[in-house]
Amino acid sequence: MTSGTRRPSKWISAYSDGACSGNPGPGGWGFLIEWEDGVEEGSGGEPSTTNNRMELVAAREAMAAFARRRRPDQGLLLHVDSLNVIGWLSKGWKRNANRDLFPAIDRLLAELDGGVRLAHVRGHQDSAGNNRVDRLAVEASRRFQRS
């Protein structure tokens, strides 16, 4: 993720997470970005999906939100609790599923040109940012659960 030519001087922290009730089942995603002037959050979901898909959508949406607002000197430090996301996006892991998501993700990574770093954070631990995006993802998934 840091092999691009751009060298950000300021890293903006962000968190993303996906959730799914059943696999497949109703799912949700959430992200937050800690801008210098406040926090931006986003969430959404799908009625029938998988946890890995929601993790990828959350990362994509965080990168897209960052790309819309960033300054040229800023990079994105994206905290995720999915080792799969880290492997697929930065370690060249084979992409067998959710192939429809990767073209947009790869375009964002190219556009941000080395301005994205992925950091692993343990899920459901003592990380306020990760706990918040987990709540956003779970709340979004509940909107698709049958009553």
Secondary structure string (H, E, C) spanning the chain: CCCCCCCCCEEEEEEEEEEECCCCEEEEEEEEEEECCEEEEEEEEEEEECHHHHHHHHHHHHHHHHHHHCCCCEEEEEEECCHHHHHHHHCCCCCCCCCCCHHHHHHHHHHHCCCEEEEECCCCCCCHHHHHHHHHHHHHHHCCCCC
pLDDT of residue 147: 46
Mean pLDDT of the chain: 93
- For residue 49, is it within any domain? yes
For residue 124, name the pLDDT band (cuts at 50, 70, 90): confident
Q: What is the CATH number of the domain that holds 58?
A: 3.30.420.10
Domain-embedded: residue 128: yes
Report the domain count for the chain: 1
Question: Residue 107 falls within a domain, yes or no?
Answer: yes
| pLDDT tens string 42-85 | 999 999 999 999 999 999 999 999 999 999 999 999 999 999 99
User: For residue 3, is pLDDT > 80?
Assistant: no
User: pTM to 2 decimals?
Assistant: 0.93
Range of the domain at 53: 10-142
